[in-house]
């Protein structure tokens, strides 16, 4: 039996740090996830030119990913809760890696998909139909990534470190987004666009070689010392019973998280799938010149992810309540997004890059704290399921922003209305979170 450790006890070298090795695994999973996810955004102008896609065609391809992501999120959360993080995450990354590679062969199966879609009254070209199918499969697989990662953090970290751990692993999304604009153009010019999808898709199988032997539950892990396990378990114990999904939905805490995800996740999708096009339209950047601005945006966003998680954790360690620490950090992030409204009229490329970078960093800091609200208010056994519900809500919001952006650009050619939505979404979300969960009290699931 491990000796109980007071929540106020300092962390020292004798406690051990294997939990941060787990966090590193989650970091690299997030990196692979976003490399696979962002390739199509980098290649949008290239693929549009080659296949003659309209803005609506591209929006529908993105919509397919978001639809699968929405459906998959709830199913994935339940799967991870039932199968456990180790197996659930492994199955998910196999599916999304195969789907990422399948983009290279979209023209091979596009005819069959186009014929199937015509049965439902949906008429697409072979290329659009093939990419819709590949993106749909990618969305199903990637939907398990964040439920599994947040559940891992809840299993491996005490509450005082969870926002920081979430910020660290979530910063991997930015590293993935940093790698893509550097690697994808080089691969495309050297070998062709299809190899950009193949090469990045294979990264998931490499990650799996480390995940399977290194991950396990801390209670049974040979690398976890008694002192570290006591530190991880220093919070009050959770109830042992499994929590059915139907018992989560009536709680205000579930809806606070889900509504915030619905309103703010689409803004990140906007950066991921449309910002390369924004720079191409407004500043004439192409595949050879887009890399540096995108690199800068996600480098800054990576710092924002860690900084946002650090801020709330630091405030809590200084004696602030969890409620005050989390919401103060979220308010700072929400305010930092507002200046993006001016980006569409920026005359200078690097001013636009700075405004988008600040907003992207603020989103990641916001996201680190928003995810942590789930483990603040729900027992560990329910965390992946609640994250799944919120992820579904965020993906539905992403579906709407994809269609809306496509229609706005087709009609006006301007990003101004979309950036106006982005600049206000976080403050509205925080007001709703505070109204539904004014004290971040734990949900009474009994």
pTM for the predicted model, two decimal places: 0.76
* Rounded Cα gap, residues 410 and 314, in angstroms: 46
Encode pLDDT of 413-432 as tens digits: 889 999 999 999 999 999 99
pLDDT in the model for residue 6: 41
The pLDDT value given to residue 24: 93
Average pLDDT for the chain? 87
3-state secondary structure at position 52 = coil
**Predicted confidence band at 158 (pLDDT cuts at 50, 70, 90)?**
confident
pLDDT classification of 1: cutoffs 50, 70, 90: very low
Residue 67 pLDDT exceeds 60: yes
Give the chain's domains with CATH numbers.
Answer: 18-212+251-436 (1.20.1250.20)
Does the pLDDT of residue 169 top 70, yes or no?
yes
Q: Tell me what pLDDT residue 12 has.
A: 41
Please report the beta strands in 58-142, taking only residues with DSSP state E, as ranges in sequence order.
Answer: none
Q: State residue 13's pLDDT score.
A: 46
DSSP string, 186-210: HHHHHH-HHHHHHHHHTHHHHHHHH
**By CB neighbour count within 10 A (0-12 exposed, 13-18 middle, 19+ buried), where does 4 fall?**
exposed
Query: How confident is the model over 212-239, as a mean pLDDT?
Result: 81
The residue behind tokens 């005082």 is 160
Residues 6+ apart with CB under 8 A from 405: 59, 270, 274, 418
CA distances (Å), origin 386, targets 210, 218, 375, 434, 443: 27, 22, 9, 18, 11
Q: Please provide the DSSP assignment of 111-131 as one string.
A: HHHHHHHHHTT----HHHHHH
Give the torsion through C-alpha atoms of 348, 353, 355, 360, to 10 deg.
170
What separation, in Å, do the N-terminal and C-terminal C-alpha atoms of the chain show? 28
Maximum separation of any 2 CA atoms in the chain, in Å: 66
């Amino acid at each position: 039996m491990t000796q109980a450790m007071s929540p106020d006890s300092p962390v020292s070298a004798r406690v051990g740090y294997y939990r941060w090795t787990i966090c590193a695994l989650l970091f690299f999973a997030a990196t692979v996830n976003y490399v696979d996810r962002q390739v199509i955004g980098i290649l949008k102008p290239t693929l549009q030119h080659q296949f003659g896609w309209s803005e609506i065609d591209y929006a529908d391809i993105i919509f397919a990913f978001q639809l699968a992501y929405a459906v998959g999120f709830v199913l994935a959360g339940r799967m991870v809760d039932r199968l456990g993080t180790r197996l659930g995450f492994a199955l998910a990354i196999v599916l999304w890696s195969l789907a990422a590679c399948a983009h290279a062969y979209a023209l091979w199966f596009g005819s069959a998909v186009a014929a199937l879609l015509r049965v439902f009254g949906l008429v697409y070209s072979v290329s659009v139909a093939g990419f819709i199918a590949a993106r749909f499969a990618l969305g199903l697989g990637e939907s398990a990534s964040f439920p599994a990662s947040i559940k891992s953090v809840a299993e491996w970290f005490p509450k005082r470190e969870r926002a920081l751990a979430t910020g660290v692993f979530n910063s991997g999304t930015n590293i993935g987004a940093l790698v893509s604009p550097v690697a994808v153009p080089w691969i495309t010019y050297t070998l062709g666009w299809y190899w950009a999808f193949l090469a990045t898709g294979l990264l998931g199988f490499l990650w799996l070689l480390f995940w399977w032997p290194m991950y396990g539950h801390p209670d049974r892990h040979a690398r976890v010392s008694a002192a570290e396990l006591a530190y991880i378990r220093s919070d009050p114990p959770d109830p042992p019973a499994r929590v059915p999904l139907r018992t989560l939905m009536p709680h205000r805490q579930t809806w606070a998280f889900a509504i915030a995800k619905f309103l703010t996740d689409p803004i990140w999708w906007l950066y991921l799938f449309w910002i390369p096009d924004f720079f191409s339209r407004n500043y004439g950047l192409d595949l050879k010149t887009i890399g540096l601005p995108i690199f800068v945006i996600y480098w800054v966003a990576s710092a924002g992810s860690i900084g946002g998680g650090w801020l709330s954790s630091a405030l809590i360690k200084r004696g602030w309540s969890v409620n005050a620490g989390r919401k103060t950090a979220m308010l700072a992030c929400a305010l930092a997004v507002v200046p993006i409204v001016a980006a569409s009229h920026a005359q200078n490329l690097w001013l636009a890059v700075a405004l988008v970078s600040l907003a992207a960093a603020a989103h990641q800091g916001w996201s680190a704290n928003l995810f942590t609200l789930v483990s603040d208010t729900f027992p560990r056994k329910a965390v992946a399921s609640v994250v799944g519900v919120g992820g579904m809500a965020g993906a539905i919001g992403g579906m709407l922003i994809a269609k809306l952006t496509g229609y706005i650009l087709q009609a006006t050619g301007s990003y101004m209305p979309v950036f106006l939505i982005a600049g206000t979404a976080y403050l509205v979300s925080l007001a709703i979170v505070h109204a539904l969960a004014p004290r971040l009290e734990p949900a009474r699931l009994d």
